[in-house]
Structure 1
């Protein structure tokens, strides 16, 4: 009898060449790219956590929504985050989440999660370039720019 198992895969959707992908050169550029892709009907209502997946040239390979939460928070499963990062052979990442309240100040939970992910990144030789917090107006807070990475 033949044993059956499920195949696990990751796929990219889109029909553009990597030379056309945006290159991330600053927190401002990263915030522009991610804000353009954010659902504007939800950014002021629900907190979400996303990751920008980058190649060696800091070009965006893709954006993955890790979690969608409630008004004041979202639960991030680090195993799912790294499953996507590793399966996509990503070399650098930028973490992004929104604060529907408009307050850009990182919470203690935001700081702790960032440090947890930063530690995990070191084990896999993944560069954690930044963690951005967006508000509904497109303004951002950058952990890297504020010296918190």
Structure 2
């Protein structure tokens, strides 16, 4: 019988599932309404870009609706950005979140969601249902015209 001494094991990447934070749980902001989310997102948005290029961000929340983090998913051009569903949920799973808030800006200042915005929200909602991660809102943010909340408008 031959031994496996001469067989070289293939090299593969190691995957580590960790979530590291420097913010105490008691110091994390709690989201109770869409305006809370909008305020925190605006504090974390580059206002020099908000009227120039479209960006898509995700706010991750724990079971207590406290913000565990915000991640920029994509930056696009003046009228669109590409959103990768896998990136959104890879971050959500890694951070062990219970829910997410989607957000993107419209450089034009128009608060009306496009057909693409609505379709993307539905697609992300379906993906979240499979993973037991709920989308509690999707905000369209502008610098001076306020924001649009899918949840407040009954679109979720």
Shift of 1:15: 2.7
Shift of 1:94: 0.3
Give the 3-state SS of the residue equivalent to 2:41 in structure 1: helix
Question: Contact between 2:19 and 2:95, CA under 8 Å: does it hold in 1?
Answer: no
Question: Contact between 2:19 and 2:94, CA under 8 Å: does it hold in 1?
Answer: no
| Counterpart in the other structure of 1:54 | 61
Distance 1:66 1:13 in 2: 19
| Counterpart in the other structure of 1:63 | 70
After superposition, the C-alpha distances for 1:49-91 in whole angstroms (9 at most, x for unaligned) are 1100000000000001111100001000111111111121111
| TM-score in terms of structure 2 length | 0.89
| Counterpart in the other structure of 2:123 | 116
User: What is the correspondence of 1:2-81 to structure 2 with a 5 Å cutoff?
Assistant: 2-9=9-16, 15-81=22-88
Aligned-pair RMSD on alpha carbons? 1.6
Question: Contact between 1:12 and 1:62, CA under 8 Å: does it hold in 2?
Answer: no
Q: Does 1:126 align with 2:133?
A: yes
Distance 1:55 1:47 in 2: 27
Give the 3-state SS of the residue equivalent to 1:130 in structure 2: strand
Shift of 1:14: 5.5
**Which shows bigger deviation, 79-88 or 19-28?**
79-88
Gaps of 5+ in 2: 1-7
| One of 92, 107, 110 as aligned partner of 1:85 | 92
- Number of positions where the alignment pairs a residue of Structure 1 with one of Structure 2: 149
Gaps of 5+ in 1: none
The higher radius of gyration belongs to: 2
| TM-score in terms of structure 1 length | 0.93
Distance 2:16 2:89 in 1: 14
Distance 2:86 2:146 in 1: 29
